[in-house]
Copies of this chain bind each other. A is one copy, B any other.
Amino acid sequence: MPVFPADQLVQIGTRLFESAGAPADIALLVATSLVDANLAGHDSHGVVRIPQYLGQIASGELKPAERPQIVRDRGTAVLVDGCWGFGQVAARFATELAIQRAREHHLAAVSVGRCNHIGRLGEWSELAAASDVACLVTSCYGSGPYAAAPHGGAKRVLSTNPLSFAAPVDDGRVLVDFATTVVAEGKIRVARAKGEQLPPGAIIDAAGRPTTNPEDYYAGGMLLPFAGHKGFGLAVMVELLSVAIGGADELDPQRAYGSLFLCLDTGAFRASAGYRRYAEQFRERITSAPPAQGFSEVLLPGEPEQRARRQRCQEGIPVPEATWEAIQQAARERGVRLE
């Protein structure tokens, strides 16, 4: 598997997005965001998306030069039109706006509609946490494509409805970032390619029966919410926040893709120093626990990502052959030189 330093992948992505019509700053922002997902260890949201985004640009679904616009500004609540540009551009705009408004008003929320894939949700909640602001991000394709069944049901009626939360702790942060399904579709594709079975409880087949065979998913099966009614409840919460309240369907009923960025200043109720003191003691309390059977240590949420980042900053980012080939192919088609 070829291994690249992060900045080389950023350059490659930037050049490709520029060749497809993105202004230099936007191309750099999106490429940096994708490579950041690789650095965090989440390759499903990394440079593997470059060919996908280029395809969406070619089909007109993604308008690479568009920039987000404020539709309605109520101070603590702002509705933003992503204008079908890159989701990352809208997400960064929304996060920075929510941070600024939370500083002014203690808490604030920015909703984004007409918005393509915003990448790794944790990037945006972490951005807020780095500014001493806690942040909840939710995202949902309210009008489909649906991939997940409700708890107890046998029909695709939900997207994977991810959520992320981050808050500062010491000089780092805790980071929660997951889909409300047991697995995302990408994992099923990988299992199918390798001829492996899925863990029990991840999917059901088209008739609503438990299965571990990835083929059953592509034959009309569906993803299951994690932890039964609990994950399902969170999926419902994510859709109501991201779209029903956020209002993405008002901007485009056919493609009701919505994301909500809710920021809460860590100094909202008291001096930030009090927050920091408590959070530090909290970290010490949690990580003081000896490991349980089968574990070697206790990690705070977000520590696996921080470790992946340290390692990959030093050792580079491994890119699977198929991904690297797809990127090279895209470059050839556009006459872009990657060296």
Binding site for B on A (CB under 8 A): 72, 74-79, 105-109, 111, 134, 142, 149-155, 157-158, 165, 167, 174, 176-178, 204, 207-210, 226-227, 229-234, 236-237, 239-241, 243-247, 249-250, 256, 262, 264-266, 268-270, 274-275, 278-279, 282, 285-286, 288-293, 295, 297-301
Min Cβ gap A227→B in Å is 4
Bound-state Cα–Cα, A207 to B75, Å: 52
Q: A225 vs B289: C-alpha distance in the bound complex, in angstroms?
A: 14
A72 partner residues in chain B, CB cutoff 8 A: 269-270
A286 to chain B, nearest CB (A): 5
Q: How far is the CB of A300 from chain B (nearest CB, A)?
A: 7
Q: Which residue of B lies closest to A296 (CB)?
A: B152
Q: Can you sample 5 A-B contacts with CB below 8 Å?
A: A150-B298, A208-B291, A208-B293, A230-B231, A249-B274
A73: shortest Cβ distance to chain B, in Å?
A: 11
Contact B293 A209 (CB under 8 A): yes
Main secondary structure of the interface of A (DSSP, over half): mixed
CB-CB under 8 A for A268 and B109, given A167-B240, A233-B178: yes
Q: In the complex, which residues of chain B have a beta carbon less than 8 angstroms from the beta carbon of A149?
A: 289, 292
Q: Cβ of A227 and Cβ of B227 under 8 Å apart?
A: yes
Within the complex, the shortest CB–CB distance from A172 to chain B, in Å, comes to 13
**CB of A76, distance to nearest CB on chain B (Å):** 5
Q: Which of A177, A208, A231, A288 has the most CB of B within 10 A?
A: A208
| Interface pair A157/B76, CB less than 8 Å apart | no
Which of chain B's residues has its CB closest to A208's CB?
B292
